[in-house]
Amino acid sequence: MRNTFKKGGIHPEAHKEASRGIELLKLPRKAVVPLSQHIGAPARPVVSKGDKVRRGMLIAENSAFVSAGLHAPISGTVAGIVPVALPWGKSTQAIVIEADEEEHQADTELRQEYWANMIPGESDRLLSERLSPEEIRRKVSEAGVVGLGGATFPSHVKLDVKSEARPEILIINGCECEPYLMCDDALMCAYPGRIVEGVELMMKAAGIGKAVIAVEDNKPEAAASLSAALDSAHDISVRVLKTKYPQGGEKQLVEAVTGRRIGSGKLPASVGAVVHNIATAFAVWQAVATGQPLIERVVTITGDINPQERKNYIAAIGTPFNEMPFTLPASPKIVVGGPMMGRAAVRLDAPVMKGTSGLTILDAGVKPEVRACVRCGACVDACPMGLEPYLISTYGRLRMWDDASAAGVSDCLECGACSYSCPSYRPILDYIRVAKQRCKR
Amino acid sequence: MSELLKFSPSPHIHTSRTTPGAMAHVLIALVPAVFCALYFFGLPALWVMLVSVSTCVGTEWLITKYMLRRPLSINDYSAVLTGVLLALNLPSNLPLWMVAVGAVVAIGIAKMAFGGLGCNIFNPALVGRVFLFISFSAAMSIWPLPDAGFGDADGATGATILSLVKMGQSTAEFTPQDMILGNMGGSMGEVSAVAILIGLVYLLVTKVVSWHIPGAILLGLAFIDIMAGYPVGIDIISGGFLLGAVFMATDYVTSPMTKRGMLFYGFMIGVITASIRRWGIYPEGMSFAILIMNGATPLINRYMRPSRFSPKQRKEVAV
């Protein structure tokens, strides 16, 4: 009997149609690296206009404990620290690096060598035994690793657990419950041994004795490849969960794996768990074992595009979307991330960032007509937090902030299951977001 | 920037279910019942059906276009559905002008006066039926006897099983087989249990309705019947019980939002129906029971909320 979370949830069509292999995406000649790609304080630049940088070199440092450094994704010259537009149009400061032909060639060769030498399978325990928790955390911090599932919370902060609050279990989120996206699936299939080593490093860094890698049952290849990389000596197990969205939600995942429910406004640590994304585990391994900071990540390009173009790429941070190989459909909507929680991009010159798990390119067509709420209760059934989306949405629309707050709007994880399931196509979540923002203040 | 990109907040994908789609599913589920109505009651049934549907749709069209001045809403099929359901709740020999009056009340007063689809408190078709029942009790209590085979009605009328029971008379002339297939007196849609059950199966398979409301109604009815020592089986297949439990009480708009609320709502409908049938002055209680619980639905929504995601399971309210 496969577990999943109990309350609510939906089963959208998976559309996991990208090929499972990973290809190297060409390095850009010009990389745009926004200073704020993570939760917390923006990084502080340590380079200035005209400086020469090498690929992997620190270009902006942690400006606070909750912050993450940035590294040059390509070698070249700093063209400036200028305001650039994020995918959703907001302007932010970014370091722009431009490479000449020679630097571009050299980077490309080094990068090919790096990935060609990566051993996919068997894991090596020695790595985590050699290093102290502090050393691991320092390396993770220096490499600018953040949560790659989309939240982009600096990983070294999450790994730095106070001894009195030591969790019993590390849960590695390999659910990838978002439809369309396959970056985690591809990574689990390609480098299971490295992921396992990354998980061991995380266990050591946080002082946790047990880890569970959670994978949904629609990714049997990933579960099998991870299981094959584990032996009985590991305190790590692979747990296959019944596919349901939003399984990757922190509270849902902890419940699915441990059966424990995290209270309103509490963190997984309150029930003795800590959750990290599977891609983060890989990035931790890269940082500690190979010394490569977080300058590239796996990005899925998929959606209503040419089927041959649906692929997983290792893309350098800072690569503009318009340098990626895809053809736009007739009425394009470019979603950064998956279709349930991803944000639509308004510009094609925006860069890949640390939290960019993929581009879901949808043929949006004509928006269906919004009809009256028929009180069918589909949103109530779908809500994984046991809220009443129709009600909170109405409170939001009518600016009844106190009522929205009393109805538990702060518990909403904005998974979109309510709007997804509404047969009248009502923008339920839009108004809930408004109310949530208001109640936060 | 050369391309024009589409933009909207997440989520960017959507279920294929639509509100008009749900209405269409219910209409499809009603096909067997409509077929039986035409088969047993012939041409008059067709006229009642046509007058009811066209008056419902026409009333909604007139009100949205000339009174509310809103975009037309008749393309969501809900008015058609109300028309069909109202017709199935009427005797086939009802004068057509009365049918039209019922339809105008159903749409004009019960639905549009409250703000249209989604805003009405009471099931429009049932309001129409009860309005006619109270206004024209005589005409609404003469039930033509079925004349199988799409024939013209021969004008024979009789009492329904429930009214025979109420009057303390024998129901021996009806065989169980007749009752299940629908060969007995009654409103157009309520007579054939088989036709309605086919519709129920269709609705459950397409997940348009869940089992909670019909199941709880059955439980509530059985509860009172067993206490009163009345055969549950006969109660289920007689009168408007099945039509009400499957098609009227499950109306999205007027039933509770949560599964827990649905169970309570359904159970109470069953209890009230059986109580009226056993101890009330009316032979039939389904319409009243549903309308009473429609009125209680906002309260049920208020007090039977879904349990929040929290470490300690909140105590479930007993049903």
Residue B111 has what pLDDT? 95
**pLDDT tier, B152 (very low <50, low <70, confident <90, very high otherwise):** low
Best CA proximity match to A424, nearest among A382, A368, A364, A380: A368
Pairing of strands B143-144, B157-158: antiparallel
Mutation target vs A (from B26, B263, B308, B314; most A CBs, 10 A cutoff): B308
How close is the nearest chain B Cα to the Cα of A350, in Å? 11
User: Which part of chain A has CATH 3.40.50.11540?
Assistant: 1-24+106-365
**pLDDT tier, A141 (very low <50, low <70, confident <90, very high otherwise):** very high
The count of C-alpha atoms lying within 13 angstroms of the C-alpha of A261, restricted to the half-sphere facing its C-beta, is 17
Contact criterion met (CB below 8 Å) for A40 and A90: no
Q: Do B118 and A372 touch (CB under 8 A)?
A: yes
| Spatial separation of the C-alpha atoms in residues A119 and A192, rounded to whole Å | 10
Q: Which helix (H) or strand (E) holds A34?
A: strand A30-34
**pLDDT tier, B1 (very low <50, low <70, confident <90, very high otherwise):** very low
Contact criterion met (CB below 8 Å) for B219 and B264: no
Residue B226 has what pLDDT? 94
**pLDDT tier, A347 (very low <50, low <70, confident <90, very high otherwise):** confident
Query: Which pLDDT tens digit goes with each residue over A301-319?
Result: 999 999 999 999 999 999 9
**pLDDT tier, B2 (very low <50, low <70, confident <90, very high otherwise):** very low
Q: Do B311 and A388 touch (CB under 8 A)?
A: no
Q: Do B309 and A411 touch (CB under 8 A)?
A: yes
Q: Indicate whether A408 pLDDT > 80.
A: yes
Contact criterion met (CB below 8 Å) for A143 and A293: yes
| A20-24, A121-125, B39-43, B129-133: the lowest-pLDDT one | A121-125
Residues 6+ apart with CB under 8 A from A311: A18, A19, A21, A23, A300, A301, A302
B119: which chain A residues are within 8 Å (Cβ-Cβ)? 372
What mean pLDDT is reported for chain A? 91
Give the CA distances from residue B252 to residues B16, B19, B221, B294, B300, in Å, rounded to whole numbers and listed in that order: 18, 10, 21, 11, 14
Q: Indicate whether B150 pLDDT > 90.
A: no
Q: Do A388 and B259 touch (CB under 8 A)?
A: no
| Spatial separation of the C-alpha atoms in residues B296 and B312, rounded to whole Å | 29
Exposure string over A35-72, b if 16+ CB within 10 A, otherwise e: bbbbbbbbbebebeeebebebbebbbebbeeebbbbbb
Residue type, A427: P
Q: Sign of the CA dihedral B151, B154, B159, B161?
A: negative
| A265-274, A374-383, B213-222: the lowest-pLDDT one | A265-274
Q: Indicate whether A31 pLDDT > 90.
A: yes
Fold (topology level) of A1-24+106-365: Rossmann fold (3.40.50)
Mutation target vs B (from A362, A375, A411, A429; most B CBs, 10 A cutoff): A375
CA angle A195, A198, A201 (to 5 degrees): 155
- How does DSSP classify residue A289? I
Comparing alpha-carbon positions, the chain B residue that sits nearest to A434 is B9
Which of A12, A347, A423 comes nearest B13 by C-beta? A12
Q: Indicate whether B318 pLDDT > 50.
A: no
Fold (topology level) of B20-303: Ammonium transporter fold (1.10.3430)
Mean pLDDT of B64-89: 91
Question: Is the previous residue joined to A246 through a cis bond, with omega within 30 degrees of 0?
Answer: yes
Contact criterion met (CB below 8 Å) for B215 and B270: no
* Interface membership of A87 toward B (CB under 8 Å): no
Q: Do B12 and A360 touch (CB under 8 A)?
A: yes
Q: Do A386 and B13 touch (CB under 8 A)?
A: no
Residue B170 has what pLDDT? 65
Residue B31 has what pLDDT? 95
Residue B6 has what pLDDT? 86
Q: Sign of the CA dihedral B208, B213, B219, B221?
A: negative
Helices (H), chain B: 19-62, 78-88, 96-104, 124-135, 161-166, 176-181, 193-205, 212-228, 232-237, 241-243, 259-279, 286-303
Give the CA distances from residue A326 to residues A323, B5, B13, B63, in Å, rounded to whole numbers and listed in that order: 9, 14, 20, 50
What mean pLDDT is reported for chain B? 87
Q: Sign of the CA dihedral B290, B295, B297, B299?
A: negative
Q: Give the DSSP letter string of B168-237.
A: T---TTS-HHHHHHT-SSS-TTTS-HHHHHHHHHHHHHTTSS-SHHHHHHHHHHHHHHHHHT--HHHHHH
Instruction: Give percent of chain B with pLDDT exceeding 90.
Output: 59
| Spatial separation of the C-alpha atoms in residues A393 and A400, rounded to whole Å | 10
Query: Which pLDDT tens digit goes with each residue over A368-402?
Result: 889 999 999 999 999 999 999 999 999 999 999 99
Mean pLDDT of A35-59: 93
> Which residues of B lie inside 8 Å of A (Cβ-Cβ)?
1, 3, 5-15, 17-22, 73, 76, 116-119, 252-253, 255-259, 262, 305-311
Query: Which pLDDT tens digit goes with each residue over A203-213?
Result: 999 989 899 99
Instruction: Give percent of chain A with pLDDT exceeding 90.
Output: 75
A388: which chain B residues are within 8 Å (Cβ-Cβ)? 257, 305-306
The gap between the terminal CA atoms of chain A, to the nearest Å, is 43
Query: Which pLDDT tens digit goes with each residue over B169-210?
Result: 666 666 666 666 666 667 887 778 889 999 999 999 999 999
* Interface membership of A349 toward B (CB under 8 Å): yes
A376: which chain B residues are within 8 Å (Cβ-Cβ)? 19, 22, 252
How close is the nearest chain A Cα to the Cα of B153, in Å? 39
Q: Indicate whether B158 pLDDT > 70.
A: no
Q: Do B18 and A374 touch (CB under 8 A)?
A: no
Q: Indicate whether B59 pLDDT > 90.
A: yes
Best CA proximity match to A236, nearest among A247, A246, A227, A249: A227
Query: Which pLDDT tens digit goes with each residue over A219-239?
Result: 999 999 999 988 777 789 999
Q: Indicate whether B153 pLDDT > 80.
A: no
Query: Which pLDDT tens digit goes with each residue over B106-122?
Result: 999 999 999 999 999 99
Phi, psi of B169 (to 5 degrees): -100, 170
Residue A220 has what pLDDT? 94
Best CA proximity match to A432, nearest among B20, B139, B9, B58: B9
| Range of A393-402, B39-48, B303-312 with top mean pLDDT | A393-402
Task: Provide the ipTM.
Answer: 0.87
Residue B159 has what pLDDT? 66
CA angle B41, B46, B48 (to 5 degrees): 95
Mean pLDDT of A129-142: 90
Q: Indicate whether B164 pLDDT > 80.
A: no
Comparing alpha-carbon positions, the chain A residue that sits nearest to B6 is A333
Contact criterion met (CB below 8 Å) for A407 and A391: yes
B5: which chain A residues are within 8 Å (Cβ-Cβ)? 332-334, 344-348
pTM of the model: 0.89
Contact criterion met (CB below 8 Å) for A27 and A228: no
Distance of CA B270 to the CA centre of its chain: 14
